[in-house]
Structure 1
């Protein structure tokens, strides 16, 4: 039977491994459970395993684990990005890596929809008004997202999840991504556009990875050109946007924003920023849901089993060819 080592803390295992997935493990693998995640423990378990099941908190997997030509044949990461987990040189040795980023993407997509609806309907402003004794004569009115233009920066897995979620709303979905082909855009049901045109949308959602090309992607000049009352959502990476420029336009009441990521993290804001009713702030939790976390291990293990069976590459397979532009 295939040997699998669960190299995460017991607390993390309870967080990302559902009861059904534990049964799947018992039925398909000879399982070893790490008592701790020290580099020494992880290395020792890795040497005797065919598959490693990892998650947040698992230390960096040193390429020395594979130095003798042995080591695990597959690494299944029940979390998102694998860039800090594993040296890409290991992929050249034929090691298959799987990431649950695609499952997390759906949770992020739901967050983005929630943020869009919350800010489009001006719910924080209505909430603040009624707490201050107001009623219907607030002087402002919410908007709908149906049939509106939504600009999406990046065609990542989180962007694709949001695209799927927005389909019933009939939105005009405009995507800026230098790597998105016309054929793929047609498959997704979106149209491609320049960065400038994409940012001329009533709703803008960022879905770019943290790579040198995306740092400072949305500049102050571009933010100044956003339409009045635009809703900007950043659930990707803080450095992708000029955060201070965005906040300047939020605080003067011109636009709305929902921020789940920051530069730096955690952020430190003054009282005026914290009190802004057109600013929605969350602590990097867009992909963090109860159901989503419990599904993570099962998501990657389903693809690992198919790969072990016939070499097929499921949706969680990390393609070495796109490592450099991945999240």
Structure 2
């Protein structure tokens, strides 16, 4: 029976591993559950599969100097801070639960879009200020709206699925999105300025040097009045100062779940902007989503071990450079 080392604290294991998944693991593996005091090196040694999550320290390539597990399954998002890509050359298969987290993020984005389109934060402020049903304010429906997405990542694809019942015209800016794949997704490709000209914009780009400052002050200034912009991806992708200035002026409505830096250093005036929806980097954080993460990757690990099948959580080494 292959040996599985669970390299996370007991508290994190309770967070990302459902009782059903625990039973599956105990049935298929000789499982070693880490304690608070376990050393990572001793856990890795002699293991065939390593299950990790948030809080697992970086796995240096030296851990594979004398063998090491042939599978790393990350019950969390990005693996870029977890592993050195050199281990791919040593035949290590890596899996990530980013695809499962993407659904939680997609739901957040849909909720934020509907919240801002109906002007709910502004109505909330007006009621709290004693102003009942202001005549200058009226919300909009999402139905048949044009939506611009920056990036065709797994989170963007989740949002595309969720937008389908609304009959939205979805355009996507992503240099790596082939026209035939866009057709399969039911979207149109666009340039960056074209995507940013949409009345609703959602950002889904990875944290790369090429994406830093992508939504610049100049592009923000060109956005039509009343534009809704959602950033659940990476704070540095947007000129945060410019976005806040235009939101304060009443030109733009924004949902910000990520910031630059984090936590953000927002002033009292910025916190009081009625057209802002502010959340603390929780777009992918749901009770159901977290509890499903270990099962999501481990089902693919078993398919890989049984028949070499690459499931949706398989991390493609060829896409490392553009991965989130």
Provide the TM-score with structure 1 as the length reference. Answer: 0.98
Q: How far does the alpha carbon of each residue in 1:184-207 deviate from its partner, in whole angstroms, 9 at most, with x for none?
A: 101110000000000010100000
Q: CA deviation at 1:37?
A: 6.6
Q: CA deviation at 1:156?
A: 0.5
Q: Is the 8 A contact 1:5 1:45 kept in 2?
A: yes
1:44 — aligned with what? 42
Alignment match of 2:88 (pick from 83, 91, 96):
91
Q: Is the 8 A contact 2:126 2:134 kept in 1?
A: no
CA distance in 2 between counterparts of 1:132 and 1:57 reads: 43
CA distance in 2 between counterparts of 1:181 and 1:37 reads: 48
Q: Is the 8 A contact 2:3 2:31 kept in 1?
A: yes
Q: Is the 8 A contact 2:47 2:68 kept in 1?
A: yes
Matching of residue 269 in structure 1 with residue 266 in structure 2: yes
Aligned runs of 1:199-218 on 2, under 5 Å?
A: 199-218=196-215
2:292 — aligned with what? 295
Q: What 5-or-longer segments of structure 1 have no aligned partner?
A: none
Q: Is the 8 A contact 1:81 1:99 kept in 2?
A: yes
CA distance in 2 between counterparts of 1:72 and 1:211 reads: 29
The CA RMSD over aligned residues, in Å, is: 0.9
Aligned runs of 1:1-327 on 2, under 5 Å?
A: 1-36=1-36, 41-68=39-66, 70-327=67-324
Q: CA deviation at 1:130?
A: 1.3
Q: Secondary structure at the match of 2:50?
A: strand
CA distance in 2 between counterparts of 1:37 and 1:7 reads: 11
CA distance in 2 between counterparts of 1:87 and 1:65 reads: 11
Aligned residues: 324
Q: Is the 8 A contact 1:129 1:138 kept in 2?
A: no
CA distance in 2 between counterparts of 1:209 and 1:137 reads: 40
CA distance in 2 between counterparts of 1:237 and 1:138 reads: 36
Q: CA deviation at 1:271?
A: 1.0
Provide the TM-score with structure 2 as the length reference. Answer: 0.99
Q: Secondary structure at the match of 1:214?
A: coil
Q: CA deviation at 1:36?
A: 2.7
Q: What 5-or-longer segments of structure 2 have no aligned partner?
A: none
After the TM superposition, which parts of structure 1 deviate over 6 Å for at least 4 consecutive aligned residues? none
Q: CA deviation at 1:274?
A: 0.4
Q: CA deviation at 1:128?
A: 1.2
